Amino acid sequence: MPGAPRRVVSLVPSLTEAVARTVPDVLVGATDWCVEPEGLDVLRVGGTKYPALDRVRAAAPDLVLANAEENRREDVEALRAAGVPVWVTYPRTLDAALDSLERLLAVLGAAAPAWLRAAREAWSEPFTGVRRRALIPVWRRPWVVLGADTFAGDLLARLGVDNVYAGAAERYPRPPLADLRAAGADLLVLPDEPYAFSAGDGPEAFPGLPYALVSGRHLTWYGPSLASARAVLSEALL
């Protein structure tokens, strides 16, 4: 890129929020799933998995933001083949996410904003309470759970919640329900995205296991929500 990007299309909801709250003038496009900040008025380019690449290109972006998990490799490659620079993120820990955000915002010409400094401060104190072992589904039909080396798993570990599948060979294992029930968890953590778990959809599959319903945005998004995520998640996990 010859200089700081002035036209950015984001295919990642959390990055959309980060850019919109820090350097809003550069954001010209986002996915239909980019719902933060409220009232965001930019070109919509479809979903994260199947964006309308013709609409992305029509926005004449200097830079497109993508994520290795949320977006498809073939879309990234197609945009790059068309001469569009694509910034791909892949944070698997809180520290990596915060550092990645700071690098991205610097490329966009912004110093570390107040929300990023607040996030670093909020997560700086180590957890000192009683630790728990949790099962963390992110989907059902089939059941999919957090496995090894995930951003959400790192956040929970910093809150004293250890993932019973943290040693799995896969990052998102799909064990049968019988194995999940026998995994040795003393807590079930159910986020409301990507699957919208609720008190009536999820806990009934694990009779007798205490559960916590948590905000998926605060558990899985890396952006301004990290400034309040520790307090929000801690309250939900009580």
The matching CATH number, chosen from 3.40.50.1980, 1.10.3720.10, 3.30.70.141, 3.40.190.80, for 132-236 is 3.40.50.1980
CATH node for 1-90: 3.40.50.1980
Give the pLDDT score at 4.
87
Measure the CA–CA gap between 122 and 145, rounded to whole angstroms. Answer: 27
Give the pLDDT score at 77.
98
Give the pLDDT score at 91.
97
Give the pLDDT score at 2.
74
Give the pLDDT score at 222.
96
Expressed in percent and rounded to 5, the helix, strand and coil fractions of the chain are 35, 20, 45
Give the pLDDT score at 3.
82
Question: Where in the chain do CATH 3.40.50.1980 domains reside?
Answer: 1-90, 132-236
Give the pLDDT score at 143.
98
Q: Give every residue of the chain whose pLDDT is below 70, as ranges.
A: none
Measure the CA–CA gap between 118 and 129, rounded to whole angstroms. Answer: 23
Confidence (pTM): 0.93
Give the pLDDT score at 138.
98
